[in-house]
Amino acid sequence: MSLHEEVNKRKTFAIISHPDAGKTTLTERLLLFGNLIRSAGTVKGKKSGKYATSDWMEIEKQRGISVTSSVMNFPYKDYQVNILDTPGHEDFSEDTYRTLTAVDSVVMIIDATKGIEAQTKKLFKVCRMRGIPIFTFINKLDREGREPLELLEEIEEVLDIETYPMNWPAGMGKRFLGIFDRNDKQFVQFNGNGEETYISYTDLDKPEHRELVSKEAYQLAEDELLLLDEAGDGFSSESVLNGEQTPVFFGSALAPFGVETFFDTFISMAPAPNPRKSTAGVVQPDSADFSGFIFKIQANMNPAHRDRVAFLRICSGKFERGMNVKLARTNKAIKLAQTQQFVASSRDTVEEAYAGDIIGIYDPNVYRIGDTLIEGKKQFEYDELPQFPPELFKKVSAKNVMKAKQFRKGIEQLVQEGAIQLYKDHRSEFNILGAVGELQYEVFQHRMKNEYNVEVMFESIGERIPRWLKDDKIDKSLFDERNILVKDREDNYVVLFKNDFSLKWFQDKHPKIELIDLLEVN
């Protein structure tokens, strides 16, 4: 198979959802399709004390390794699938955002009974800003949920994206009959036993389907479908690939129902690895020389194992174990001998991989997040990874003042590595750490102690809304403890607003001061 063919069969995507929307259940279904597990429930089941393969956090904790997002890869039909997990709730961290820089598309799961929830919205904003194609799976149709039209309206309004329902549900909960598959022009009947019956539109008026079509839920759905055909947005694959329209699928990950159809359609529509921007122009994924960038570094939480793994997204060419590459930042040569590929819960040594794939490489403490690795004579770096706005802020200091030197060294290195963000109070030079989630503080504290032998103390200044100032000639007396003025690592001024109200009040009062929301510019 040619390099071009190998690269083009790669589908690399992340699944995003609010906790409990069904990400684990759906991921497990996909692993089943990939023959990575034999039956549903073998890896899943919080109640049985087991966990899904994608819930790596627990597994890694047991092994004494910290992990914040994981990778699963497997062949499916003619494709090679790479799924990147994006943990939610307390495990949410900057890594979750950064994972989105390493994928070519995203699957968003929404719980039909709940609609869009806060966390989904944040991740979604990053996808929109970066133009990542988004495919939506509305889950839990086997439960009484919200009206499908209302859900679509909410997606369009809250997330500011066009929707195109690929299928349309007839009823839900106890009245759930199945879905109209608009793509293949067939009705997929829900039998409740995990099996699906496909009835082509042309066969629906046959006598054996009279009972089905006379049901109220069926007729209502048919009317709605007519409405969508006439008044809804038309399907545009161009808009989908630009991230301006999201194809929407309805189904149930648990039943399961509509999952296979969803996955087949998704996988055929999802983009193959994209060309990437670099300092030497756009790099094509099927260009001969290997290149990639590091989007995550995973430090081992276990002091007995100091090794770290850097997650590399291959952006061009072919990787072969043992190959020589160079680290663009330092121009140093590196032999990539110790590499891992992530196949569900086991880690295998990877011998070869192609653009689009994600591999883990052993990090002898030389890599930083955003680093570019390249093969051959060319010299370039991939675009810097965007900064993502932290939400939780804490003042940090060393418990023992005698440890000031190690403290400084530790902070400097962990910040450089991208584990956490550092700010300085513009007056007191006090160190303020910023993180997207609490987990980042835990990891920071742990690593400071284990790697730098410093115990740290935090003083929370709570959740804050950070806004970068466009102009650094600013009247500093406008800020106080309520709205704190700090400097980031690049010496840019940032205001940590106490809450939404303070932010709005400030904007109204000083309309000329331009405030930048990083989520809007990424």
Q: Is 17 annotated as a binding residue?
A: yes
How many other CB atoms are found less than 10 A from the CB of residue 203?
A: 12
Q: Is 20 annotated as a binding residue?
A: yes
Q: Is 102 annotated as a binding residue?
A: no
Residue 229 Cβ vs ligand G4P, minimum distance, rounded to whole Å: 27
Q: Which of residues 19 and 275 has its CB atom nearest to ligand G4P in the complex?
A: 19
Q: Which of residues 139 and 163 has its CB atom nearest to ligand G4P in the complex?
A: 139
Token pair listed for 165:
């329902």
Q: Is 85 annotated as a binding residue?
A: yes
Residue type, 58: E
Residue 109 Cβ vs ligand G4P, minimum distance, rounded to whole Å: 7
How many other CB atoms are found less than 10 A from the CB of residue 231?
A: 7
End-to-end, the C-alpha distance of the chain in Å comes to: 37
Residue 507 Cβ vs ligand G4P, minimum distance, rounded to whole Å: 35
Q: How far apart are CA 141 and CA 250, in angstroms?
A: 7
Q: Is 73 annotated as a binding residue?
A: no
Q: Which of residues 253 and 485 has its CB atom nearest to ligand G4P in the complex?
A: 253
What is the signed CA dihedral for 355, 361, 365, 368, rounded to 10 degrees? Answer: 20
Q: How far apart are CA 160 and CA 211, in angstroms?
A: 40
Q: Which of residues 23 and 394 has its CB atom nearest to ligand G4P in the complex?
A: 23
Residue 373 Cβ vs ligand G4P, minimum distance, rounded to whole Å: 33
**124-148 per-residue burial string, b: 16 or more CB within 10 A, e: under 16:** bbbbbbeebbbbbbbbbbbeebbeb
Q: Which of residues 21 and 336 has its CB atom nearest to ligand G4P in the complex?
A: 21
Q: Is 24 annotated as a binding residue?
A: yes
Q: Which of residues 17 and 278 has its CB atom nearest to ligand G4P in the complex?
A: 17
Residue 97 Cβ vs ligand G4P, minimum distance, rounded to whole Å: 18
Which residues here bind ligand G4P, judged by CB under 6 A?
17, 19-25, 46, 139-140, 142-143, 252-255
Q: Is 21 annotated as a binding residue?
A: yes
Q: Which of residues 46 and 306 has its CB atom nearest to ligand G4P in the complex?
A: 46
Contact status, residue 52 vs residue 43, Cβ threshold 8 Å? yes
Contact status, residue 291 vs residue 280, Cβ threshold 8 Å? no
Residue 259 Cβ vs ligand G4P, minimum distance, rounded to whole Å: 9
Q: Is 310 annotated as a binding residue?
A: no
Residue 89 Cβ vs ligand G4P, minimum distance, rounded to whole Å: 8
Distant-in-sequence contacts of 382-387, Cβ < 8 A, 24+ apart? 382/276, 382/277, 382/278, 382/283, 382/291, 382/293, 382/315, 383/276, 383/277, 383/278, 385/98, 385/101, 385/293, 385/295, 385/418, 386/101, 386/518, 386/521, 386/522, 387/421, 387/488, 387/518, 387/522
Q: Is 223 annotated as a binding residue?
A: no
Q: Which residues are annotated as a binding site?
A: 17-24, 85-89, 139-142
Q: Which residues are annotated as a binding site for GTP?
A: 17-24, 85-89, 139-142
